[in-house]
Every structure is written in structure tokens, then in C-alpha cells.
Structure 1
Amino acid sequence: MAIYQTEAVVLGAKNWGEADKMMTFFTRERGLVKAAAFGCRRPRSPLAGGMQMFSLLELQLAEGQRVDTVKQCTLKQHYRKLSEDLTAMSYGSFVAEFLREFLPEGQPEPQMFSQLLLILSAFETRNPRVTALAAVYQLLEFTGMQLHYEHCVHCGREINGDAYFQQAAGGVLCADCCEAGMMAFPAELRRFILSLRDFDWSEAAQLKVSARLLVKAEQLLLSYLQSLLGRPLKSLAFIQQL
């Protein structure tokens, strides 16, 4: 049974059996990994403190034929707001569910992992709704399923002003390539989405947000994710109760 060590963020945890959990980790070296944490629900288990959502861990795991097993864990970072603030927790769960649904198991994404760490830290000081929206726009870029906003998806022409949008086509279209029934895509909405996608989390300044554009950018993203999954993300029901 091969043992390996990796840095990981907890993206999911389900109770299993009397004292165990089935965990979902996003790891730096192996991407999405599912593993069993035996006995971690017992109060004296050395794994108990680490198997919490959004924890950043140093993990030791044993490879298994069906599922890997958590052998040891060291807590590297505790994100206080994501574990104590209900609003931050809700929007963080949206980001975690996005990753669980759209990442294939066992495919390393080290750059995406580093970006996620910046996003989790951002939840500590920034507006959680805006942070979550920017996070998913950014993380979507690593999946190969991102929408395109800077050039017409039909002719490749650079978009500068108002344009049109078609989800099925994969993004924005110029006036020459638009067809009847396509959604108008104002330049201000396009610029706002790009500001979310390209935001540098090391910037001290907060993102400048218009409530109207925020709602439109959310609607566009959620509609697209639902079309890919065939259903809404479950975490949205939790957010709607806030």
C-alpha cells in the first residue's frame, strides 16, 4: 500500500459508518482526491481537528484499490470566517461545490490550487458574495469550460463596445455575427465580468461593484453552470435562506 504526502484543502465531508467520514480533498499534487478518514468523528481521534471544511492540511494518505485512506494530518491554516460566519460559509460552500462538480479526480492543477488558497484568504476580509462570484469566474478558466468575453466566438474579432451573448456558442458575439434572439451584452457588464475574472487578490483595494451588474453577472454564471450540470448547484438553496 503506497503512502504519499500532499498539501490539501477540505472541499467535502460526509459521515460514514459510526465514527468515520468520507472526505473530498483538493490537493496540490494530485488534484481532487476522495479518501476515507477512519475514526475521525471520535473526540480523541488525531484526525478530528483537521477533517473540517476549508481546512488547509498537510496530509499523509495511503493509496487503496477503491478509495485512499487518511493516515495523518497536520493543520496548516484555519480560515476563521469560513468556519464561524454563516454568510462566508455559505458562499464558500458554493465555491467548494463548484470544484467538486467540475474537477476530474486525480488530475493535478497546481496553479488552480494556489489560486484557491488566495481565494480562501480573501473570504477573511472581503465581501463573501463578491468573493465567491469572482472565485468561480476565475477557477472556471482552469477547467477548459470557460466562457469567452474578449473576442467574438464566431469570427474572432476583438470586442470593444456593446455586443451579444449566446451561452451555447460559448460567449460573446459581435454585431455582424449575432442572430435573432441573442441576448444583448452591454459593454459595462462585459467589463465587470472581466474585472472579476482578472482580479488580483493581492490588491488591497476592494472590488468596485454595482449591485445591478453583480446580479446580472451572477445570473449569467449560474445559468451557465446549470446548463453544464443539468441542475442547479445544491449550495444555492443554502445561500437563498440567508
Structure 2
Amino acid sequence: MALYQTEAVVLGSKNWGDADKMMTFFTKERGLVRAAAFGCRRPRSPLAGGMQMFSYLDLQLSEGRRVDTVRQCLLRRHYRKLSEDLTAMAYGSFVAEFLREFLPEGQPEPRMFAALLDILDAFERRNPRVTAVAAVYQLMEFTGLQLRYENCVHCGRKIEGDAAFSMHEGGVLCRDCATPDAKAFPEELRHFIVGLRDFDWQRGELRLSSAKLIAAEQLLLAYLQDLLGRPLKSLAFIQQLSMTGS
């Protein structure tokens, strides 16, 4: 069985057997990878510390016929808020679930991997809800699922002012091309979403508007549910926290 090394972020895990886990990693060299971590639930396992959500790792894996196997791991970074703060954890889980659901396995995305590291770092310093919404708008740009906001998806005309929006058409429509199912798309909301999509985590500061954030979030969630055919499971965790005031 061939061995390979890669940088990776833990996006998910499921208990398997008495002491094992089935892991989902987003790797720099191979994209989404699912692998078995045998014995990692035993306290003395050398893998135990690394197989936690959002851990940034150096991994050694062996290729398998059905599933790869984790051989070694070295923890490169532990994100404290994502493991200790319930709100950050909930919104981080939303980003992780998006990646698990919409990325194909085995397709390298090194620029997307670099973007994810910036996003995980942002969760340590920024509002988790804003970070999660901006993160998924940004990560969608790498998936082929992105929506268009600057030019009419029918005629290509550059959009100025208020317009219309249709998920089924793939984005913004000018007034001349607006379809019956299209909804009003105010200019301010469009600019706000583009600002989230293009936000520079290293240098930027977001000018927040609660109303625009809610509208941008609702549009995003409706689109993802339309693609997936159901709501993302992580949203139940977020809703539970909002009800308890955590």
C-alpha cells in the first residue's frame, strides 16, 4: 500500500467499531479524503490528539482499495475557540458541512485549502456568524456552484442599481431579463454580498449591517437547501444555541 504525506484539516469524524473513527479531511494535495483512524479513541493512541474537529495536521496515510488509513499525524495548529466556544463551534461546523457535502473526493484545491486556513484563523478573532456566512460565499467560488452578482446572467449587462435575483437562473438579472420567479434584489444587498465574497481576511474590516447580514444569510441558506434537497444538519445546532442564548 502506497504511503503519502499531506497537510490536512479535520472536517468530520464518526465513531467506528470499539476504538476507531472514520475521518473526513480536507487536504492540500488531494482535496477531500475519507480515511480510517484505527485505535484513535484509545487514550494512549498517538492519533488521539489529532483526530479532533478543525485540527490542522501533517498527515501520513496509506492508500487502500476502499478507504485510506491514517498512519501518523502531527498537530500543526489547534484552534482554541473552535474547540471551546459553542457558538464558534456551531458556525464552524456549518462551514465544515458545506465542504463535506459539496466537494468531490480526491480533487486537489490548494487555493481553497489556503482560504480555509485563513477562515479558521478568522474564527479565533471575529464574529463567528459573520465569518461563517462570508466563508461559505467565498468557498463557493471554488466549487462551480457560485452565483453571479455583477452581470446579468441572461444578457451579460453590467448591473447598476436595483435588480432581480433568481437562484434557478444562477444569480442576478437586469430588469429587462427578470423572470416571473425572480425576487427583488436591492443594490445595497448585492454590494454587501460581493463584499463578503471578496473580503480579505488578512487586512480587511467588515462594515456590518444586521439587516443585510440576515438577508445575505437567508439567500445563502435557501440556495444550499435547493442544491442539497434538505437543510444542512449543522443549522439545527445553530438554532438550538440561539434558543438557549449560548
TM-score (norm 1): 0.99
Letter in 2 for 1:227: D
SS of corresponding position for 1:117: helix
Aligned mates of 1:69, 1:181 — CA distance in 2: 48
| Other-structure match for 1:124 | 124
Superposition map of 1:201-240 within 5 A: 201-203=201-203, 205-240=204-239
Report the aligned-residue RMSD: 0.6
Does the aligned pair in 2 maintain the 1:32–1:100 contact within 8 Å? yes
| Other-structure match for 1:147 | 147
| Other-structure match for 1:106 | 106
Letter in 2 for 1:132: A
| Unpaired stretches in structure 1, ≥5 consecutive residues | none
- Deviation digits for residues 189-239 of structure 1 (CA, Å, limit 9, x no counterpart): 000000000000011x53111111111001100000000000000000000
| Other-structure match for 2:14 | 14
| Unpaired stretches in structure 2, ≥5 consecutive residues | 242-246
Does the aligned pair in 1 maintain the 2:138–2:198 contact within 8 Å? yes
- Deviation digits for residues 28-84 of structure 1 (CA, Å, limit 9, x no counterpart): 000000000000000000000000000000000000000000000000000000000
Does the aligned pair in 1 maintain the 2:166–2:181 contact within 8 Å? no
Aligned mates of 2:50, 2:71 — CA distance in 1: 12
How many pairs were matched up?
A: 241
- Answering whether residue 189 of structure 2 is matched by residue 189 of structure 1, we say yes
Aligned mates of 1:224, 1:231 — CA distance in 2: 10
SS of corresponding position for 2:211: helix
| Other-structure match for 1:39 | 39
Percent identity between matched residues is 77
Does the aligned pair in 2 maintain the 1:60–1:71 contact within 8 Å? yes
SS of corresponding position for 2:24: strand
Runs of 4+ with deviation above 2 angstroms: none
Report the more deviating stretch, 180-189 or 15-24.
Answer: 180-189
Does the aligned pair in 2 maintain the 1:23–1:37 contact within 8 Å? yes
Aligned mates of 1:36, 1:217 — CA distance in 2: 37
SS of corresponding position for 1:21: strand
TM-score (norm 2): 0.97
Does the aligned pair in 2 maintain the 1:126–1:206 contact within 8 Å? no
Aligned mates of 2:142, 2:160 — CA distance in 1: 25
Aligned mates of 1:13, 1:179 — CA distance in 2: 43
